[in-house]
Amino acid sequence: MDFYYGRVILLTGASSGIGKAAAEHLASLGCRVYGTSRRTEGRKQVFKDEHSQGYMEMLKLDVCDKESVKEAVQYVLEKEGRIDVLINNAGFGISGAIEETSEQEAFSQFDTNFFGMHRMCRSVLPIMRRQKKGLIINISSVAGLFAIPYQSMYSASKYAMESYTEALRMEVRDFGIRAVLIEPGDTKTGFTDNRYYCAESENTAYPKSKASIERMEKDERNGSKPEEIARIIGGLLSKKNPPVRISVGLIYKVFVQLKRVFPNRLVELILRKMYA
């Protein structure tokens, strides 16, 4: 418990799902957690435990708004004097065929999932460099390793996060900053119900898309609990040199290994059988 005591954590997308579970778990370990959400009105303390000394406060932050990011980061810095851990969890999913995804819809997906992460990193990295230490945890997805049909924009945004984080690790290592990817598989959260469907999908020319998306949503509703991801995040805080990535779920760990050794056509065939 002493190791976690007082660690200052800034966590985006903390109002539900993985973010909420992570915020509550880290606070229970004794961390000082600042969770964020676009929908949070005002600032309020939502958790304080006299035994763990953990603390959690929700802040209003829109990762798509540079000024909103700046204000939230500055608030935490003024109150705590430092930021030890940044967890980039804010995101959502778009479903639909590539042909039926507009440029605006595609940009919206990247603006939140990828550029939102980039805005957060740019705001926090100068603080961590001055501290000469810090940890950045980017919540990716197994879809960042395996492109899913009719989830192309979501997969692409997570693929981009993967390479971004790999480069980030090398750039900031000399400053004592570490970065790591967490790649959840199917997880039972509100993410499923909040999925956005491309406008043109209503009269789709791709008849298999509906069944594919229904299969994915069924898997998500029967997936792992977000508390499992929260415990993995908590475990990372005690690692001096965290791994590049952590894939969550036995079946997905197997998939990762198969992709490394199996021909691409075979991997594609398996995914087509599952989702196409």
Task: Give residue 243's pLDDT.
Answer: 94
Task: Give residue 81's pLDDT.
Answer: 97
Task: Check if 52 is active-site.
Answer: no
User: CA-to-CA distance for 61 and 56, rounded, in angstroms?
Assistant: 15
- The CA-atom distances, in angstroms, between 249 and each of 141, 239, 252 are 11, 20, 5
Task: Check if 141 is active-site.
Answer: no
* CA nearest to 21, candidates 114, 89, 97, 94: 89
Place of tokens 């676009």: 38
Task: Check if 15 is active-site.
Answer: yes
* CA nearest to 34, candidates 68, 70, 85: 85
Task: Give residue 138's pLDDT.
Answer: 98
Which DSSP symbol is given to 249? S
Q: Which among 28, 140, 209, 247 is annotated as catalytic?
A: 140
Alpha helix stretches (DSSP H) within the chain: 17-28, 66-80, 103-110, 116-131, 152-172, 208-221, 226-236, 250-261, 264-275
Q: Which among 55, 150, 154, 159 is annotated as catalytic?
A: 154
User: CA-to-CA distance for 20 and 11, rounded, in angstroms?
Assistant: 9
Sheet with strand 32-37: strands edge to edge: 44-48, 55-60, 32-37, 8-11, 85-88, 134-139, 177-183, 245-247
* CA nearest to 153, candidates 181, 202, 194, 114: 114
Which domains does the chain carry?
8-275 (3.40.50.720)
Classify residue 64 by burial, with Cβ atoms within 10 Å: 0-12, 13-18, 19+: middle
Task: Give residue 214's pLDDT.
Answer: 81
Which DSSP symbol is given to 235? H
Query: What are the tokens at 8?
Result: 């200052």
* CA nearest to 238, candidates 14, 85, 70: 85
Task: Check if 158 is active-site.
Answer: yes
Query: What are the tokens at 187?
Result: 């997880």
As averages over each run of 10 residues, the pLDDT of the chain (276 residues) reads 80 94 94 91 56 86 98 97 98 93 96 98 98 97 88 95 98 98 82 77 85 76 85 94 86 70 80 75
User: CA-to-CA distance for 148 and 138, rounded, in angstroms?
Assistant: 20
Task: Give residue 104's pLDDT.
Answer: 96
Of the CA atoms within 13 Å of residue 237, those in its CB half-sphere come to: 25
Angle between helix 66-80 and helix 116-131 axes, rounded to 10 deg: 30
DSSP 140-180: --GGGTS--TT-HHHHHHHHHHHHHHHHHHHHHGGGTEEEE
Q: Which among 55, 155, 157, 158 is annotated as catalytic?
A: 158
Handedness of CA 214, 191, 89, 188 (dihedral sign): negative
Q: Which among 15, 16, 52, 224 is annotated as catalytic?
A: 15
